[in-house]
Structure 1
Amino acid sequence: MNTDAVRERASDLPDKPGVYQFERGDAVLYVGKAVDLRDRVRSYADPRGERIRRMVARAERIDFSVTETETQALLLEANLIKRFQPKYNVRLKDDKSYPLVQLTDHEYPRIEVTRDPDDAATVFGPYTDKGRVETVVKALRETFGVRGCSDYKFDGRDRPCLDYEVGICTAPCVDEIDADSYLTDVDSVRRFLDGETGVLAEPMEQAMQTAASEQEFERAANLRDRLSVVESFHEGGAAAIQSDAPEERVAVLGVSIEGSDATVARLVSERGKLVDRERHRVAASEVREVAPLLSAFLPQFFAERDLPDAVLLPERPDDEDVLAWLDREGTDVRVPGAGREATLVDLALKNARRQTGRRDECARLAEALGLDAADRIEGFDVSHAQGKAVVGSDVCFLDGDAEKSDYRRKKLTDENDDYANMRRLLRWRAERAVEGRDDRPDPDLLLIDGGEGQLDAAREALDAVGWEVPAIGLAKDEELVVTPDRTYDWASDADHLRLLQRVRDEAHRFAVAYHQQVRDEVSTTLDDLPGVGPELRKRLLRRFGSVEGVRAASESELGDVKGVGPSTAATISARL
């Protein structure tokens, strides 16, 4: 839009509070709030900064919504920014929470590390070091035998799984332990996670001494190292730093800005004890100062959350509307200069700098591909057996780590055509995104397991639906990165290539696992053969891949499968 078009549009707007949007096509470029819509939009005829000047030049139209009050405009702006993720706004992106440990609300509770706990689960944490958490959970399972398997694996078993064989589960699924004894073990796990370290440390120390006395020195050393992790697990945690603040709940924010990458670290203190820590990534565009970034972050983050009694900040936000809103809601805003509150703010700043101070593999990947960001990547693969039991996987990585709560999978139409299968899979994902049926944010990048042919099929699906997300392929044989414009042959030790390989390999693993599950669930002609039960049918299909593979096997090859004797092998060979 040019200067005259902006002034003409502004003259049509009311002189009331509200929210305005600069738009281009179906995209929202910028969302802003105003006490007086007409005056505020008219000011864009003479933009003060180069970033806003570029935004106005790109815009094709201006839309608006009138609100009753300035506070309503503030909250509506925050919600619209989160909904549309406009390119030219400071906007809160996916917040990556710290890991939690949950004990599920099953008859036989399951223990697991998660970032997305079940509503009815008993949850412990958050914790700052996922590696330490996983070490402790493994030690808990080895000591108390609490299950970690999914409901799918737990239900309907007739014999224990491998977890029982290696000693990390007491197999309640097949009544190897009675319900009361199992729940007693679960209670011991709960006591440890509540802070009773000796519940786990004492049996581990006894096991270490036994291993040493039996001259199993490698096992003793391993137990010693893990015991050290267990004993320090509850140290330096929630009550490490206390605040003198009289309020019930206090939020502490620290901000670090590096280029277009910003991080807000948030600490939460309840009744003087630090109980929660999180870091939130913020797309800061060309904002270089803390005060305006806090002005954008506070309403976006707290618009759908309970406000604390007080907020401790490194700088005072520069938006008086935000400060007035917090004041009306009874939230005190303080910028402490000394004392324990200043120590808390300093800790939040250190947490923020830990994230933005690292030029990580995601940033290098985005730079190499010419993208704005590559923090959130979704990987896709298909798996089938000669066109049967066709499935697709959609895995997600956030900041270089697998975000398993955002994994999805899809049964596809049986067809022995990898390109058609990939086309269907991507169309399914794109349609869900465009129609608002997928609760996940749009990724920064799509990674297709395959080369030029698979990528072309995926892009055809994206173009047909109109989902504008960058997509690339990673071919297995030569590890070439294929884009619509060119092919990259990066060094094998390049961090950004290794990131893509991790995503690709996980998409492949997830697809194959689901294919095997679907294949084993399918009724086959093997079901009608005398002497072939469900377990033997699964072993035959795993060994030979399909009914056709079983049919082509010789009697001697069939006899190599556990449970197949000479008469059964002869029956299978004759009947198939």
Structure 2
Amino acid sequence: MDEATLRERASALPAEPGVYQFLDGDRVLYVGKAVELRDRVRSYADPRSERIRQMVARAGEIDIAVTDTESQALLLEANLIKRHRPRYNVRLKDDKSYPLVALTDHDYPRLRITRDPEGGSTVFGPFTDKGTVETVCKALRDIYGLRGCSDHKFANRDRPCLDYDIGLCSAPCTGEISREGYLDDVASVERFFNGETGVLTEPLRREMERAAQDERFERAANLRDMLDAVEQFRETGGEAVTQADSQRRRTDVLGVSLAGREPTVALLRAEDGQLVDREQHTLAVPDSDEPTESAVELPDASDPGAVLGAFIPQYYAGTELPDRLLCPEQPVGDGLDAWLADAGVELSVPGAGREATLIDLAMKNARRDERERDGTTGLAAALGLDRADRIEGFDVSHARGRDVVGSNVCFVDGAAEKSDYRRKKLTETNDDYANTRRLVEWRARRAVEGRDDRPDPDLLLIDGGEGQLDAAREALDAVGWDVPAVALAKAEEIVVTPEGEYDWDSGDEKLKLLQRVRDEAHRFAVQYHETLRDEVSTALDEIDGVGPETRKRLLGRFGSVDGVRAATAAELQEIDGIGEQTAERISRQL
């Protein structure tokens, strides 16, 4: 492949994370990962070594797989290298796998992080960020008390160890908890790793609030940090590379795109809990003039269920069936369900959890060349931009100038790119224009100074009207970041630009795209604001006349909210700043 051809093919690739493969016919020459596929593949036009120069010259094709996060790309790259053993990849001498979380097969299971789980263990992962996994496991032990000690130590204790004293273990070794109670806690931990994150986040949040009310602020801060790590663990998408049922050998995940003349089906393959491969297939419509050689015949191209119903029997007629098949919709076809059931294949259409995340990823791969239907092409044309594939949204949330926070969300090709979400705590002021200016300036300065690892967006969307847009453009001009910006207010749904306003129809795909970005920026800002507010809030904050200093004096005098609740009106009035009416209000509201 020459330099011109490589640059041309790279320019057609998405600016998203993923894995790329240089191919010589059916032979894989090289596998790599990228935060941004387009720029990374383009860089091979100027090879850094003679070895890579030879690889590019031999390659005839480039194949890619889009992922949601860089972590997923890292894992998929590692598995493709192990599977294909490409000639031009450097093979690591220390070929260790990524860390797993294991619940051992004992009467009282042990929770541990390992690269080599014991036989019979229930295993979750792999995970790429060991530090985050360690924090999550500590939080699980803090809430559920699962043991972390070795079998030798467990079998030879006659009194609880230090872990019991500091609340990290319920001490089943000395009978401080019944086996039934301990196994209930083990089941809760399994539910967390299978996607039910509320079994950890809700107890952590309640414990954090209790600690704050009791003025155990160091404990509250530690719990807050744990909660942040758990929520990051849930949101990054890294856990989506594992199967919900890690005991199964193979799961195939299908995604469908109906864009263009021929529908596309993307297939992601997970084996032993790891995402290992990706394929893409087109389906030939009967009136198509030149169906591709590998296409599947299709009776109805307008129904995703019909597309799946046509694809599944024809594709799997020539390859081994998986243990599980995950689909975005129920496949339509006579006898298809019975055939899969007889073959022992479990067909599922997940609506939530980790399996739904895998479906989203397959759908993303299926429609990676689609632009018109998600509104990006029409939006770019309407605003006079080269493209609007990558949009960043901004919003500010506060409570009358307190706990001011800003959100910065990202959409790529019309879909949320959650790994590129950011948030910022801002100076406390009840001025939305000033807050917007600070938030956009923070993003712009990081970009200009090279401290933000994300690509520059094609468009900034500000939640608000003309005032907020002017504030954002002032910030861009002050820093010198040349990125176009528009605003969208909630009331009129008018798109405000520096050149004028657009009143698009409510069903217009361009407007729907901007609304999705705006609403997500608002949701993310409010979520962060509520998190900050809840970290330090108590029931006293809801009482008129009780400010931060009065609250501090009340808690200092009575020890806790319950102590304030038990106090008489006369006792409350002994506190500086509390008169008869405020005392009565406190007694009544508590």
Question: What TM-score do you get using the length of structure 1 for normalisation?
Answer: 0.43
Q: TM-score, normalised by structure 2?
A: 0.42
